């Protein structure tokens, strides 16, 4: 039995992964904002006779304090974490700041993943083959806005997700340097277009595009079929990346270790304020 923690586990790809692992006999803890969706997961687990293996934590992961509460809660209820799946995201067409004054996409899509990757490392280290699966967008080539990481000057919702994907690539690239003796395998995974709820707040033009993507995108089941091999047979390397199940090269400037160290330093400084 493995123990899987899944952010964004209340919906879409995350929820489907939660169901697969529950059926396999694993312990699954999902995280999301919706109490109703969380209860639906717990109900389905009870129907399966797996209520004791299913957990739901309601948290707004765009808030730093909520991430800290989550990894403290996980450490309290789960002795070991075998797999951490990072899959929470929320699109906003209009730039919005959290009550902590951070751009919301930066806070949820990047900073939460930074906090959870590093914060849950001690729980992961106790597992036989620990894995972090960061479901984001490796392979993106948009430049990092080093002097404007929270996109104050020029914000476009889809661009913010692309930018967040690049920050996650550097998070993965820098993870090994921060945990030099770790056995954790950090996997970056781009699922391609998948027909999910695409949670978010969209302007009219983007809403029309998203409606089209829901029609043309692959099914969640197809996407899970591409993700599961990475969790069942993770690459031996400490960092790997995939696009729709195909391995991509991480020995490129987009995963540059010096840039990763630079981002790590900036992020730590931001968290100290």
- Of 32, 85, 72, give the one whose Cα is nearest residue 55: 32
**E strand residue ranges, the chain:** 3-7, 27-32, 54-58, 83-86, 91-92, 131-135, 185-190, 200-201, 239-243, 246-248
Q: Closer to ligand NAP at the Cβ: 201 or 256?
A: 201
Q: Closer to ligand NAP at the Cβ: 132 or 153?
A: 132
Instruction: Choose which of 137, 139, 172, 174 interacts with ligand NAP (CB under 6 A).
Output: 137
Taking the complex as a whole, the smallest distance from the CB of residue 119 to ligand NAP amounts, in Å, to 15
Q: Closer to ligand NAP at the Cβ: 61 or 149?
A: 61
Contact 71, 116 (CB under 8 A): yes
Record the tokens describing residue 210, joined without a space.
Answer: 């998203």
CA–CA distance from 215 to each of 116, 246, 271 (Å)? 33, 23, 40
Indicate whether 74 belongs to the interface with ligand NAP (CB under 6 A).
Answer: no
Taking the complex as a whole, the smallest distance from the CB of residue 109 to ligand NAP amounts, in Å, to 7
Indicate whether 198 belongs to the interface with ligand NAP (CB under 6 A).
Answer: yes
Indicate whether 93 belongs to the interface with ligand NAP (CB under 6 A).
Answer: no
For 43-82, b where at least 16 C-beta lie within 10 A, e where not — what string? ebbeeeebeebbbbbbbbbbbbebbeebbeebeeebeebb
Q: Site residues for ligand NAP, window 9-68 (CB under 6 A)?
A: 10-14, 32-34, 37, 59-62
Instruction: Choose which of 2, 21, 89, 179 interacts with ligand NAP (CB under 6 A).
Output: 89
Q: Closer to ligand NAP at the Cβ: 129 or 199?
A: 199
Indicate whether 197 belongs to the interface with ligand NAP (CB under 6 A).
Answer: yes
Alpha-carbon span 168 to 247, nearest angstrom: 17
Which residue's Cβ has the minimum distance to ligand NAP?
Answer: 12
Contacts to ligand NAP by CB under 6 A? 8, 10-14, 32-34, 37, 59-62, 87-90, 108, 135-137, 191, 193-194, 196-199, 217
């Amino acid at each position: 039995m493995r123990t899987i923690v899944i952010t964004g586990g209340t919906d879409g790809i995350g929820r489907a992964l939660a169901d697969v692992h529950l059926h396999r006999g694993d312990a699954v803890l999902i995280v999301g904002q919706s109490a109703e969706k969380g209860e639906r997961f717990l109900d389905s687990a009870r129907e399966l006779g797996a209520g004791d293996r299913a957990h739901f934590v309601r948290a707004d992961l765009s808030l730093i304090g909520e991430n800290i509460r989550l990894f403290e809660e996980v450490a309290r209820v789960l002795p070991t974490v075998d797999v951490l799946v990072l899959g929470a995201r929320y699109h906003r067409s209009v730039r919005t700041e959290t009550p902590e004054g951070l751009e919301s996409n930066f806070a949820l899509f990047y900073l939460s993943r930074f906090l959870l990757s590093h914060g849950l490392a001690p729980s992961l280290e106790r597992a036989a083959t620990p894995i972090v699966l960061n479901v984001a967008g490796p392979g993106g080539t948009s430049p990092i806005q080093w002097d404007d990481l929270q996109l104050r000057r020029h914000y476009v919702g889809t661009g913010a997700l692309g930018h967040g994907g690049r920050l996650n690539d550097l998070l993965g690239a820098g993870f090994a340097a921060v945990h030099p003796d770790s056995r954790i395998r950090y996997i970056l995974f781009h699922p391609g277009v998948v027909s999910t709820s695409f949670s978010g707040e969209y302007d009219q033009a983007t809403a029309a595009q998203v409606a089209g993507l829901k029609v043309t995108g692959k099914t969640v089941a197809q996407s899970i079929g591409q993700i599961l091999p990475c969790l069942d047979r993770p690459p031996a390397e400490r960092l790997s990346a995939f696009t729709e199940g195909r391995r991509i090269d991480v020995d490129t400037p987009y995963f540059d270790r010096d840039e990763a160290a630079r981002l790590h330093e900036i992020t730590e400084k931001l968290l100290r304020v």
